[in-house]
Structure 1
Amino acid sequence: MPSSTALRFTDHVAIVTGAGSGIGQATAVALAASGARVLGVGRRQEALEETARAHSNIAVLSSDICAEGAADRIVTAAVDRWGRLDLLVNNAGVAALMPLAETDRAVITDLFDVNVTAPSLLAHAALPHLRKSSGSIVNVSSTYGHRPLAGGAHYAASKSALEQLTRSWALELAPEGVRVNAIAPGPTETDVLAAAGLDEDAVTEIRTNERERIPTGRLGHPRDVADWILRIADPQGSHVTGQILTIDGGLELS
C-alpha cells in the first residue's frame, strides 16, 4: 500500500486505452495504486479482467477504439460511473514492419486509424470534461516517432503524427488549463511485435539486436514507462505541457 504522500491522483478519474497488457496495464495499475479511479479500455475482455483484478480502483470496458462512436461511449462510461474525467492516456497502438517495396494500403490505413485517428477522437470526446477538471492528456508515442525506422516508415510516421498532435494540442489548450504531453518508449518488453504478426524467431532476433544497441543494455519494462506517464500527468506538474519524453535507455543517442 503506498503512503498517503504517494496518493497524488486521489479522487481523479483516468481512462487508459490498451489496458489489457504491457504499458497500458502497468499504467492502469500504477494510477489505481496512486489513488485514481481508472477505466481500462481494450479489445480483449479476458486480459482486461486480469488488469481489473490487480486493483479495486480499476473498472474495465471492452471496446475497439476505432469503432464508430467508440470515443463517445468510452468517455461517457467513465463520466457516468465517477462523475468527472481528469486524465486520458492514449496508449493503445499498433506496429507494423513494412518496407516501401511491400507497401499495402490496408496496413497504412490501420496504422493511422489506431495510432492517430482514434486518439484524436478520444481527445475530442474527453475535452469538455478535461476543461472542467483542468485535466491532462498523455499520448504514448515511440522513440521512432522522432527517429527513422528502416522497414517501418509508416509506423514511425504515425507516431511522428501523434507527437505533432501533442505539441499542437498543448499550444491550443494551454490557455484553458488542459495539459498535453507524450511519452516515447523505446523497445519495451511487450507483445507488440507478436501482435504485428511476427513469429517467435523474428521477435527474438529483433529484441536481441535492439538490446545490443541500447546503452543501458536492456529493454524497457512496462513499469519504466508507466512510472513516467504518472510523473508527467501528475496534477502538481501544471507548468509542464507540450513535451515529448523519451524513455529508451539512451537508444536515441546511439
Structure 2
Amino acid sequence: MKAIVTGYSSGIGKAISDILEKHGFQIIKLKSRVDDFDSLEKEVKSLLKVDDIDVLVNCAGVGIFKPHEEISLSKIKELIDVNLTAPIILSNLLLRSLKKTKGHIINIASVEATRHSKFSALYTATKSGLRDFGLALFEELRRSDVKVTTINPDLTKTNFFDEFNFEPGDSKDSHLLAEDIAKSVLDIINFNGVITDITIRPQKLEIKKKS
C-alpha cells in the first residue's frame, strides 16, 4: 500500500506519515513544493509511471489570523495555493490511479471550515473551500469506489502556531495532539464504509496569548 502525505515533515502530516508507515504503508515523499504546480505535475506524472497510489492525504497547510486589509497579496496567494489549489490539483493528478486501487483521499481542513471567526476570513475561505471540495468530490466518485474524507481538527498543539501571537492552552483537555489526528486517519481508512466529514475537538476551549 502506497500513500502520499503532503506536509509530512512536521506536525500533523508527520504524525500521519509515521502511523501509516507503522501499519504497512510506504510513504511517497514528494520533493516538489505543493505550491510549485509545474514541478508538482511533472513529479506526480513521473511517479505514476511506476506506482499506483492507495491513499492521498492533503495535509500541508498555512494560516494567518489578522485583519483582512493587513494581509499582503503574496500571503493571500500563498494561503489559497497551499490550502486549496494544491489539494485540488493533487486529487486531479492522482484520481485515475486512485480509481484503480479503489483508494482514499483524506483532506485535513480545520474547525474553521465549519464556523465564522474574527480575523479568519482568508483562512476560513481556503479551508471551507477544501471541505466543500471533498464533500462534492465524494458524490462524484461514489460509483468508482474512491473514498473521500474531510477532517476538521480544532486546536492542535503543533508548530502551526509558531508564527502567531496565540497558541492552544496547556491543559491536556484544551488541545488535541497531532497523534490524535493521525489515529483518526488510520481509523477512517480501516472503517468499513465512508466517513465523509468529521470534526475533532478538545473538550475545553483555552487559548493562550504569547508574551
TM-score where L is the length of structure 1: 0.74
Separation of aligned partners in 1, 2:5 and 2:47 = 11
Sort the Cα spacing of 1:28 and 1:170 in 2 relative to 1 into closer, same or farther, 3 A. Answer: same
- Return the match for 1:63 from 22, 28, 32: 32
Alignment of 1:178-189 (within 5 A): 178-189=146-157
Asked if 1:211 corresponds to 2:166, the answer is: no
CA-to-aligned-CA distance 1:116-155 (integer Å, 9 cap, x gap): 1010000001101001000010000001111122112110
Q: Which has the higher contact order (CA 8 A, sep 6+)?
A: 2
The 3 A distance-change label for structure 1 pair 28 and 111 is same
Match of 2:27 among 35, 38, 43: 38
Q: Secondary structure in 2 aligned to 1:217?
A: helix
Q: 1:15–1:78: 8 Å Cα contact kept in structure 2?
A: no
Alpha-carbon shift at residue 76 of structure 1 (Å): 3.9
Instruction: Specify which of 1, 13, 16 is matched with residue 27 of structure 1.
Output: 16
| 8 Å contact from structure 1 (residues 139, 182) kept in 2 | yes
Tell me which residue corresponds to 1:53: none
In 1, the alpha carbon distance for the partners of 2:71 and 2:11 equals 28
Structure 2: distance between partners of 1:180 and 1:69: 25
1:175 matched residue in structure 2:
143
- 1:233 maps to 189
Question: For 1:116 and 1:28, how far apart are their aligned partners in 2?
Answer: 21
Match of 2:95 among 118, 127, 135: 127
Task: Specify whether residues 244 and 70 from structure 1 end up closer, same or farther in structure 2 by C-alpha distance, changes over 3 A only.
Answer: farther
Moved over 6 A (4+): none
Query: Which deviations, in whole Å up to 9, do the C-alpha atoms of 1:175-207 show, x marking residues without a partner?
Result: 11111111111111111122xx33xxx2xxx22
2:55 is aligned with 1:87: yes
Q: Tell me how far 1:87 sits from its aligned partner.
A: 0.4
SS at match of 2:199: strand
The DSSP-based 3-state class of the residue aligned with 1:182 is strand
Provide the C-alpha distance between the structure 2 equivalents of 1:240 and 1:181, rounded to a whole number of angstroms.
Answer: 7
Q: Is the 8 A contact 2:157 2:175 kept in 1?
A: yes
The aligned counterpart of 1:46 is none
Q: Which residue of 2 aligns with 1:18?
A: 7
SS of residue matched to 1:121: helix
Identity of aligned residues (%): 30
Which residue is 2:202 aligned to?
249
Unpaired runs of at least 5, structure 1: 1-11, 41-60
**What amino acid maps onto 1:133 in structure 2?**
T
In 2 relative to 1, CA 120–106 (structure 1 residues): closer, same or farther, beyond 3 Å? same
